[in-house]
Structure 1
Amino acid sequence: MTAPVGGALWGRAEQQDFRGRVRGCLLGGAIGDALGAGIEFASLAEITEAHGPAGVTDYVEAYGRRGAVTDDTQMTLFTVDGLIRAHVRRDTGAWHPPTDVHAAYRRWFRTQHEWGPDERRAGDGWLAREEWLYARRAPGRACLSGLGDDVMGTVDRPKNPESKGCGTVMRSAPFGLLVGWEPQLVFQLAVECAAQTHGHPTGILAAGAFAAIVHALVRGEDLDAAVQKALVQLATRPGHEETTEALKKALGAVRQGLPSPERVESLGEGWTAEESLAIAVYCALVAEDMRHGLLLAVNHGGDSDSTGSICGNLLGALHGETALPPAWLAEVEGRATILELADDFAMEMTQGPALHGPADSAEVWLSRYPRG
């Protein structure tokens, strides 16, 4: 993969806006994930019977607590970690971000099989030493099997070539936060990293489209324009038809009347990549505010945590951290870690040369994000 070109000059206002969008994207995704975690496997009828006609309107207990996140947030955080490591390792002359993201996903894989951090692995960096991440939260089978050995799936030789589960999309928002990259490179990187666990064209292209949408939002586009730009990119890719159709169906649903759980369910259940993306895009397009959009995204009989997470990524990238509902933000699991990682990512993207270089680097940064 070639290195990114271009990039803006970062003034203080631009840095603050970018940091707010990064925080909003990652925390918004975590909040949506947590809202859906307790109803992920319930039908709409079961949800309304248990929680009333409006469905869930707040966190419900999952995994022993309120505000618990799932593998969606876990893997998203490790995507961020891998992207920071890729930029740091570029000082050595090595530049292949899919390899660094794959290594980060392998660190996530260990959190699903080990009791806690192994301090002997000094090269793991700080995120892999966060004990709260060592918890199984219904990880997808394709993610686990795709990362079960050291062999990295590629577009030409993907892991699980028949799988198009939403596990590719729910972890791919961070690629869109590479605001200095060209849109085509953002799309391609998301595709290459999706192939590490899912090989079906729809699985990998939906991830690329999602990253492209987030990228346009962070660059200041509105959501409709961002989706249109993603559709243009999709049209050039073989096997794009399912993803393109799903996004067009989401756009069409906006014009069909007032939002409702039934209209959400007309787009699918969210277990597959294109359906999860379509539901999240629809809910973000019709959202009156963050709260309304996220509750619409989780109150359906399908993969509620993933559609909530993806919708939260979109709305957070669009509106920034100040749009997040304060009570939900205060209670979401891992908030301190997510904030720390978001700020590190924003610093790396805007001030990386001041943190590290071929000749001189801040020791604390290389301890957090080792080059190895």
Structure 2
Amino acid sequence: MNNTRKNAELSSQMDSLIEKVLSGDANICEVSLVEEWMGADDANRRFFEQKRAIHEVIDPPFDAADVDTERALRHVHWKMKLRNIRRMSLAKVAVLVLPLCVAAVWAVVAGTDTASEHMICLTTPYGAKIESQLPDGSRVWLNSNSRLEYPAVFDDDKRHVTLVGEGYFEVHADKEHPFIVTVGETDVHATGTAFNINAYTNDSVNVMLISGHVDVMTGGEDRVTLLPNDNLCINSSGISITHHADIEKCCDWKDGRILFDNDNLSTVLARLSQIYPVDFVIADSTLFNTRYHATFTSEGLYDILHLLEIAIPMRCVRRQGIDSSSRTVIDVYSAHK
């Protein structure tokens, strides 16, 4: 029992030292202690690297808006067309690493003669977003922790992309070649329109239509047509549509804002979990229905949680260590207990 208690105390002390090192507040002696601890065991070094990755997402040392992802993607598109002209027969993978991993763009070249089978994948890590142009001129914004896959050249009869996470689309008008976004077992069909899709998990899909109209096909072959300001929600309870939904609240993320308007705490924390590598456990049931109003722009996760603690009020207690998925777990308590 004493050894277990000592190990727990040592782990807590090292966790605090690592935080000081990552924040730049550690002195020379503390830095040396952490370096010695890392060198003693590969597991310690892996733990430190996980902590550093999460720290850089929550408090990045750069402005993601300064990275020219559009230029990088144009280069990938050009390379795909060049490979198609040369008709390269060997399967290759071209990887483009952007500065500080703000966003990743890669192309998988399948050894075929058709450019439509050359796939491009855009990914965004936690805490970042990108804006890009697709081969047909349509534009897409990808939110944090999202992935979009599409061919370097669209097919003759349709324009098909696959999304995991959240994306805002402004589709180039072309009725002869429908634009299809697949999210799990759901397909969103459009021709020329603007809409937002939130689909971080296959069992929860939200489609918000800004302009034009879209048809949403579910796995059961049900077809639902949306009109502007309609928000479609597909989850385990079925399909529901909210008319005259709040477009600003749904889509402000693409302009760098996180908007909450009379949302309960569960909804607020669930949204933060999509954007940051953090899972929340509300330990006090009295907090579930607490309502919150706020707009965040440049604030990081720690600043947001601090403001939540002041407004609700509540206490956020981070659990020691990191789970196997490299996500931090935070327990949320009432400040009055």
- TM-score w.r.t. length of structure 1: 0.25
Structure number, greater radius of gyration: 2
Question: Higher strand proportion, which one?
Answer: 2
Question: Higher helix proportion, which one?
Answer: 1
Q: Taking CA–CA contacts closer than 8 Å with sequence separation of 6 or more, which of the two structures ends up with the larger relative contact order?
A: 1
